[in-house]
Amino acid sequence: MFTLIQSHMDLNQIAASGQCFTWTPLPGGGWRIHALGRVLECAQEGDRFTFSCTEEAFRTVWHDYFDLSADYGAYISAIDPADPCLTAAAAFGGGIRILRQDLWEVMVGFLISQNNNIARITRSMDLLRRRFGDGLAFPSPDDISCAAAGELEALGLGYRAKYLSALSAELAGGGLDELREVLDCSDDEEAVTALMSFCGIGRKVADCILLFGLHRLDAFPSDTHIKQILAERYPAGFPYDRYRGFLGVIQQYLFYYHLRQ
């Protein structure tokens, strides 16, 4: 076990923020996280966190996963104090951090997130891991592309099954590594264009992949919640330029605030 004191982090807020679909609640409180081919159990009391791993494992794997090198207090301090909506959102969800997740897991999660909810997406991701992976590591494009007709539909994916089948087939046989190379050499708009070339990935999903799978913090996914906030609270336009470099963090504060109010 490893214990850490950490400010500006709230496990419950992160789990409910819509950025991850591999967290499941533990019966006695806390969370079980399947990520990066590993399993971590963690619990929180105020700013005190307990993790089911050694200090070495935490420092080498999970410290980066929770984005603990970033100063989220500085992000919050940079918010315009004259902006009542954003200051309230940051006060309400200031424990959210942008996780550094695996690109492929994020692509699959957000591909099947369309017209879906966090609980159902999490269940589908767990079923995919158990059916096509080894129960620990998430299955690769090659693993999923070998699924027989109807196997993905049987996991409750609905119409999204055909998107996942097509994406897995395109990225099997080294295609995922090639995509990573393309994305690494692309600016944000070029990366969005590359991602939207795949069946089932529109602008919103592409922006989510940018933010949560590539940690491109200037991505600002816009769904119905964000569109409603911008229309109601920022009719003259949102001050994107003020928050360049951490727009994705700001988006998460706004999204979570609107979702949970």
Q: Which residues of 169-199 are buried (b: 16+ CB within 10 A; e: fewer)?
A: bbbbeebbeebeeebeebebeebbeebbebe
The widest CA-to-CA distance across the chain, in whole angstroms, is: 56
Q: Please indicate whether residue 204 is annotated as part of the active site.
A: yes
Cβ atoms 221, 214 nearer than 8 A: no
51-55 long-range contacts (CB < 8 A, ≥24 apart) are 51/1, 51/2, 51/3, 51/4, 52/1, 53/1, 53/2, 54/2, 55/2
Report the Cα–Cα distance between both ends of the chain, in Å, rounded. 35
* Active-site residue (options: 204, 215, 225, 233): 204
As annotated, the active-site residues are 204
